Structure 1
Amino acid sequence: MSYEVTATRRRPQHFDDLIGQEFVAETLKNSIKSGKIAHAYLLSGPRGCGKTSTARILAKALNCKNGPTDNPCGECSNCKEITKGTSLDVIEIDGASNTSVENIRQIKDEVLFPPNSCRYKIYIIDEVHMLSTSAFNALLKTIEEPPPYVIFIFATTELQKVPATIKSRCQQFNFRLVPIEKVKECLKDAANELNIQAEDEALFWIARESTGSMRDAYTLFDQIVSFSGSSITYEKIKNKLGLVGIDQLNTLFELCVSKKTDEVLLSINETLQNGISIEQFISNCTSYIRSLLFIKCGIEKESLLGNKKDNYSSLIINEWNSIQLERALSIFLQLYRDIRYSISPKFELELAFSRLCWLSDYVSNVEVKKAIDAAQNLLLNHSDAKSINHISEVSHQEMRQETIDSRESTEQTEQSTETVRKTHTEINHVPQGLPTFEILSQQKETPTPFLDGGALPPDNSVQNIDNHSAEAIKQTFSNDDWSNTETPPDDVYYNKDDEDSSDYDQNSDISDNFQNLADSYESKIQQQPTILDEKVIIDDGREISVQQLKGNIYATLAIIDGFTVTALEKTENWKVNSNSLEATIKNAYDFAVLEKKKNTIQEVISKIFGKNMNFIINLKDNTNEKLDKIIEIPKQVAIICDLFKGTIL
């Protein structure tokens, strides 16, 4: 009899033989018992977990001569033919080889013919995700409404590549990886069948390397049996496959903990000379550090650690904390990526172990923050203890000084300020042992009048005007405040022809003294030629001069729109009529500004006169220039436009 590999020899033949897929087995068994058999099934999951075996068991259960039954006999002709793969009514198709739409069209033609000897005609399409889009589209109608004797069973390892239109027409079953403990038990049964003595550590290593795939476990088991003979030991596996044992890893990492870099590098060189590949060595070291991290976190499950907890070095577990183990694990994970692009993978490996030798000195950001917080708390406690004592002393001194002589308020303020400054100096006293800078200690600072620092608040002498009305402005001035004969002061001298001087500062604070603002405008107006006896009557019946009228208008507009005041100050020849105020201006640009703000000016004038007044502004035409020509822009406006990159509207 020819040799049969373990994976084929131990392939499940019944639903109860499926390892780790109890949910799938129970669901299919119950559906067969109740007669609720779907026309399409989709089995998905990782490799070697029993998808194809489940499809064959389902085919035997449906076509068994004693069935349909959840437990096929395996003795009838139909069961034997399905097991051997020679049944005419159970067709297995490799989806990776038959991807074209022509293959699917052939299936569509074949489903029209009933089964030869079985109850159902079953199509098992493995790796169905490899079919082309056209093939899937051609299969849709057949899957949705197949003949009653046709059943489709699809198997795939990449469910995400199967179109949603196919998934929606099938019952889906997701297979899971087999736990390592169950894989180890199956390997032990396989070794007993062959009369082979196997160590638990060796079988556990095989199960762990299979990563939950039964087919991979049986394949690796056959390979080890080939060179181990009748006895399988972990020592043989380690020597033949070029593995690094846990004892060797314990010794190597204990040298790293002891910071013996020279011995570590020599040990690495000796290990590589024994035929162990760098990739395998890095993989073993990574798994070892991962297990140490799990132990540090309180995990002792053997299936996760790969070995018993007692097999790991207690010295390493005690010396390295969790943060340092995480750092070591990240070093090896990055090392495995770096060796692909390095000029020498061996150099990268030696560098990684050299870093591990000072891992005990590694301090994470979290630990640094904790240390800083502890130092901060220490300094704050020291500072608070002294500040309470000194502040209480200062308070008693101030109270005593105020009782002795309350009339010397200026001297008391200076003494209090000096006391507070001294208090700050004492509160900020550096504790013993901390470094100081001589240049900072010699620096002198001006005492501050406040405990928390800051300048004295400015005096606010501006009058509060809730409403910028004519009534509020009228009360500010009187007939005695204005004079047609006084010479304006030098500091407020106004030259009307000087275009470079700033007429009004828009950036000045609105809270400036309103009275000073009016006086300033009065001084500017006095230099303009006026008729001394020209008077106008305002709403309260008082007679005021044109200069006083200008002062009221300028002061009111300065609060509302200072830019308009700048243009209005350049006007001439004011004429007050019964219902209008007329003025003349030379500059075309200022004329445009006043025309734009005409309504605002009229509102101010109307409030002062107590009736509706129109404001008429005329452009003095010296050279017959017109508005449609280019308007000359003042130098100040041009500078502002260039600065803010704007345009004039």
Structure 2
Amino acid sequence: MAYEVTATRKRPQLFDNLVGQEFVVSTIKNAIEQKRIAHAYLFSGPRGVGKTSSARILARALNCESGPTPTPCGLCSNCKEITRGNSVDVIEIDGASNTSVNDIRQIKDEVLFPPQTSRYKIYIIDEVHMLSTSAFNALLKTIEEPPAYIVFIFATTEPQKVPATIRSRCQQFHFQLIDLHTIKSCLMEAAQDMQVKADDDALFWIAKESTGSMRDAYTLFDQVLSFSNDHITLAQISDKLGLVGIDQITEIVEFLLSGSTQNALTAVQTLLQNGISIEQCIKDFTQFFRSLLLMKEGITEESILGIQTDRIPLQVRSAYTKEQLEAALEMFLKLYRDIRFSLNPRFELELAISRLASLPHLASPTELVRRIALLKEDLLSGKVTTLAQALPTRAPAVEPIQRSPEARAPLPTEKPVAAKVVRPFTKEDIPALVSKLSKAPLLSQVAQSISAVEQQDNSLKLTFTTEFCRDKAQENLELLQSLIEEISGFSGKLTVLCIEAEKPKQKSVEDPVLSSIASMFRGEIKN
């Protein structure tokens, strides 16, 4: 028996076997059960998702001897002839090969004759968007008012190229891309039918590469099976098809994170020496950083990531920020566009890998401006201080003795300790305190608002004019105490007060001018 490719062998023969198109299946089945058969259908969608298969299933459902039925038997003569493609009442036309108006005129002549052995005469026109404008115009009247026994089924991958006058005369069904897990389960079923062992990660890769097309998945499955010796593994796929494995990319990135750029470049050279193309390397690195970016956004669905998350170490997943991953992804996308005009694409790839070493230190101009603005705001508000402010340089309490060269002599092993000079901190020392706070404008203004200084034994009280100044002084109490000790040597307890809190509320104003104004208007002025 002749070999039959998997895509043909697994072609669905019933609506229930059509995977990934639940809306189309349910709508058409309900229409058939309710005897609401349209005279023209337009099936649109990506390649390999079941448009032509649905057209043939619909043809069998309408012409089955036990129909119209949503579940054709597949055993009657009509069903068998449609399946084999030799039914005289179901005519399949390739729109890409029959584009002229003369081909459509032939259809117009044929529709005048009723079906010979079936209930409906059905025309399936594939790639209908390839018809010429004059051919579409010739179809208009026939589609709008066909005989009761005529059904048109159009299939296209580019519905925008079909004239609106044609689309408006058809019931339109848009076929969706098939999700990754559905394709993977179908591939697993195909492997079991063929008694072939297939690893989970290998089927995941095939399903991912098919990009939602079931036919592409089956075609790639057959290709991989031809060199896998009845056991499909990802290692064999990577070796035979020249792919960069996720483990190899992870190893290169780990080298870069540890600062071993030399080892990373050596690993890239090993990949190229093993026959992996530069374009494939760029594609795989692009996919890797795209997956990391989506993980950073909290996406965990493997069908979206296109990669199995447990194969990337946690330290690699958390090594970069969102903006750094965006920069890496943009770099590889631009690199793929630019290598066609490059002097040497290999140099471009090596340069990109070298630049990845500095990726953890990358910050966008927007982020830098934001950080500077926050730092400026914190400095002005006193939330943070500079190192010079927090740890001021203390001048020695006693001037060192200047010794002439003639008087130099070996110093004694034990140096005498100078006595620490301590004096009261008074209001006259406030200008010195303000001067030392000149690098912090807000705190300098706060120091200028000191209205009273009171020192008793091991306690020092500073009274400020406003509550705001008192609160800011309280927030920076350690800094003020350090500067006061530097100025006067006082190192005791520091307390800050507010003159507004201590001042009793006056019921009358003692100012004679204000008192005269109050008596003039026979009233009083309150604080």
Q: TM (normalized to structure 1)? A: 0.60
1:523-553 alpha-carbon deviations (Å, 9 max, x no partner): xxxxxxxxxxxxxxxxxxxxxxxxxxxxxxx
- Please list the CA deviations of residues 367-424 of structure 1 after superposition, one character each: whole Å capped at 9, or x if unmatched: 212321122113322423322443677xxxxxxxxxxxxxxxxxxxxxxxxxxxxxxx
**2:121 matches 1:121:** yes
Deviations 1:108-167 (A, max 9, x none): 000001101000000000000000000000100000000110000000000110000001
Is 1:223 the counterpart of 2:227? The answer is no
**TM-aligned CA deviation for residue 365 of structure 1:** 2.1
CA distance in 2, matches of 1:40, 1:305: 39
Amino acid at match of 1:248: Q
Shift of 1:262: 1.7
Corresponding position of 2:201: 201
Range with bigger deviation, 241-250 or 42-51: 241-250
> Which residue of 427, 437, 444 corresponds with 1:386?
444
2:362 maps to amino acid: Y
Q: Which residue of 1 aligns with 2:159?
A: 159
Find the residue that maps to 2:226 and give its secondary structure: helix
1:214 aligns with 2:214: yes
In the aligned structure 1, how far is the partner of 2:126 from the partner of 2:104? 14
Matched, 1:340 2:398: no
The separation in 2 between residues aligned to 1:309 and 1:13, in whole angstroms, is: 37
User: Could you give the per-residue CA deviations for residues 45-91 of structure 1, whole angstroms, max 9, x where no partner exists?
Assistant: 00000000000000000000000001000000000000010000000
1:71-86 to 2 correspondence within 5 Å?
71-86=71-86
Asked whether 1:268 is paired with 2:268, we answer yes
Kindly provide the amino acid, as one letter, of the partner of residue 156 in structure 2. Answer: T
Matched residue type, 1:213: S
Q: Which residue matches 2:187?
A: 187
Q: How does 1:204-603 map to 2 (within 5 A)?
A: 204-381=204-381, 382-390=440-448
Letter in 1 for 2:223: Q
* CA–CA distance in structure 2, aligned partners of residues 339 and 307 of structure 1: 26
Q: What is residue 93 of structure 2 aligned with on the other side?
A: 93
Q: How much has 1:350 moved relative to structure 2?
A: 0.6
Task: After superposition, give the CA deviation of every residue in 1:288-337 in whole Å (9 maximum; x if it has no partner).
Answer: 11111122222222222333322102222232111111111111011100
Q: Distance in 2 between matches of 1:350 and 1:318?
A: 24
Measured in 2, the distance between the counterparts of 1:389 and 1:71 equals 91
SS of the equivalent of 2:227 reads helix
Q: Does residue 60 in structure 1 map to residue 118 in structure 2?
A: no
Question: Who is 2:177 aligned against?
Answer: 177
Aligned to 1:471: none
Name the SS of the counterpart of 1:125 in structure 2.
Answer: strand
Match of 1:146, SS? Answer: coil
Rounded Cα–Cα distance in structure 2 between residues aligned with 1:150 and 1:367: 65
| Correspondence for 2:433 | none
The residue type equivalent to 2:150 in the other structure is V
Shifted more, 157-166 versus 298-307: the winner is 298-307
What residue identity is the alignment partner of 1:383?
Answer: P
Gaps of 5+ in 1: 394-649
Task: Tell me how far apart the structure 1 counterparts of residues 57 and 369 of structure 2 sit (CA, whole Å).
Answer: 61
SS at match of 2:124: strand
Give SS of 1:227's match.
coil
**Following the alignment from structure 1 to structure 2, what is the Cα–Cα distance between the partners of residues 379 and 194?**
72
The one-letter amino acid paired with 1:361 is H
1:136 to 2:151 alignment: no
Q: Over residues 583-617 of structure 1, what are the superposed CA-to-partner deviations in whole Å (9 max), with x where a residue is unaligned? A: xxxxxxxxxxxxxxxxxxxxxxxxxxxxxxxxxxx
Pairing 1:69–2:127 present: no
Hey, what does 2:107 align to over in structure 1? 107
Cα deviation, residue 260, structure 1? 2.0
The CA distance in 2 between the partners of 1:165 and 1:392, in whole Å, is: 86
Q: Could you tell me how far 1:17 is from its partner in structure 2?
A: 0.6
Q: In structure 2, how many angstroms separate the alpha carbons of the residues matched to 1:389 and 1:135?
A: 90
2: CA distance between counterparts of 1:174 and 1:157?
Answer: 10
Say which SS state the counterpart of residue 119 (structure 2) adopts. coil
| Deviation per residue, 1:197-227 (Å, 9 max, x gap) | 0011111110000001000000000001111
* Alignment partners' CA distance in 2, 1:115 and 1:318: 67
Partner of 2:480: none
SS in 2 for 1:79: helix
Which structure has more relative contact order (CA 8 Å, sep 6+)? It is 2
- How many Å apart are 1:257 and its aligned residue? 1.5
Amino acid aligned to 2:358: W
Alpha-carbon distance in 1 for matches of 2:308, 2:40: 46
Instruction: State the alpha-carbon separation in 2 of the partners of residues 259 and 266 from structure 1.
Output: 14
Q: CA–CA distance in 2 between the matches of 1:7 and 1:375?
A: 62
Letter in 1 for 2:228: S
Alignment partners' CA distance in 1, 2:24 and 2:180: 19
Q: Aligned-pair distance for 1:258?
A: 2.0
- Paired AA for residue 39 in structure 1: H
For residues 151 and 306 of structure 1, what CA distance do their matches in structure 2 show?
A: 41
Coordinate RMSD, CA, aligned:
1.5
How far, CA to CA, are the matches of 1:151 and 1:241 in structure 2? 45
Quick one: distance in 1 between partners of 2:334 and 2:447?
A: 57
One-letter amino acid of the counterpart of residue 309, structure 1: T
Letter in 1 for 2:196: I
CA distance in 1 between partners of 2:255 and 2:380 (Å): 43
In 1, distance between residues paired with 2:450 and 2:131? 88
Distance in 1 between the 2:269 and 2:65 partners? 66
Q: Highest Rg: 1 or 2? A: 1
Residue matched to 2:412: none
Aligned amino acid, residue 441 of structure 2: S
Residue 50 in structure 1 maps to residue 108 in structure 2? no
3-state SS of the aligned residue for 1:340?
Answer: helix
Q: For 1:344 and 1:17, how far apart are their aligned partners in 2? A: 50
Structure 1 distance, partners of 2:147, 2:306, is 52
The letter for the 2-side match of 1:277 is: S
Query: Which amino acid in 2 is paired with 1:133?
Result: T
